[in-house]
Amino acid sequence: MTDDIHTPVLLERCIELLGPALQEPGAVFVDATLGMGGHSAGVLERFPGVTLVGLDRDPEALAIAGARLARFGDRVHLVHTVYDGIRDALDGLGIDTIDGVLFDLGVSSLQLDRVERGFSYSKDAPLDMRMDGTSDLTAEVVLASYSEADLRRIFRDYGEEKLAARYARRIVEERQNAPIVRSGQLVDILQKATPAAISRQGHPAKRVFQALRIEVNQELAVLERAIPAAIDALAVGGRIVVESYQSLEDRIVKRELQTRSRSSAPAGLPVELPEHRPELKLLIRGAELADDEEKAANPRATPVRLRAAERVRRDS
């Protein structure tokens, strides 16, 4: 059963934050990162008048979630799309505005638990890392075809890896001897390239694997488009909740929510005009972290940063 392999992160807190916007019959909730449907099942159970629009780029996840949510009948609409396609997905369903939207970012439990998907550096597998298996770019392709400069850039920018230059150079050297096609090969290359003193500070592959996954799936570029699109779709009183798991994601979310929760009136303007009033009201000060009880029950909640806001103004 999917419930045995997937525990939604901060489920009760997400429901608490979304709840005030989902009380009315006919409310529309978008789960922008459906995964195996754990958060969505919780929302549909708690709010019997809610209609779900579930988005996911992973066909396997959609199939599992579809089976899990089948009991909710025509209250469920699932769409195969990356989450920056939220507006097109809603237009396809004839939906103008929504009342709640949730983003649970990063790699899903399904993807982590399927060794053959190649997301984990702890298990040897093909270097795939695609969240959507129908797309063309894989981690193997990145490692085989990107220049040393581009590898260095993605390791530095997406993995915040201090040894980015060293790792990129070693990968380019090694691929001349043999194609790098499995995660075990890549881990071995990175371990040999890492000074002993640094290896003791943590697994040398962690940040490189994160960077490759982000590049393969264009996660940050997609997120920069998706958060504004989701906010634009919210009705007044609608709420957005976002769970991030690393600083690069959280920075994008924080910037957009803070920008839209501030007045855009020029400094010194004696009266704030309606069009300059904030669009959002922040529901959490800063980012909320999981407590010790949540971390103990669900270790994947350990790095989560939770942010939420309510739409308080909508342009006519």
Residues making up the binding site for S-adenosyl-L-methionine: 37-39, 56, 83, 104, 111
Give just the sign of the alpha carbon dihedral 90, 94, 98, 101. Answer: negative
CA distances from 72 to 2, 33, 62, 79, 98 (A): 16, 18, 15, 16, 19
Residue list, annotated binding site: 37-39, 56, 83, 104, 111
Q: Is residue 110 within 8 Å of residue 86, measured between CB atoms?
A: no
Distance CA 243, CA 103 (A): 6
Burial of 82 (0-12, 13-18, 19+ CB in 10 A): buried
Distance CA 284, CA 299 (A): 23
Distance CA 125, CA 314 (A): 48
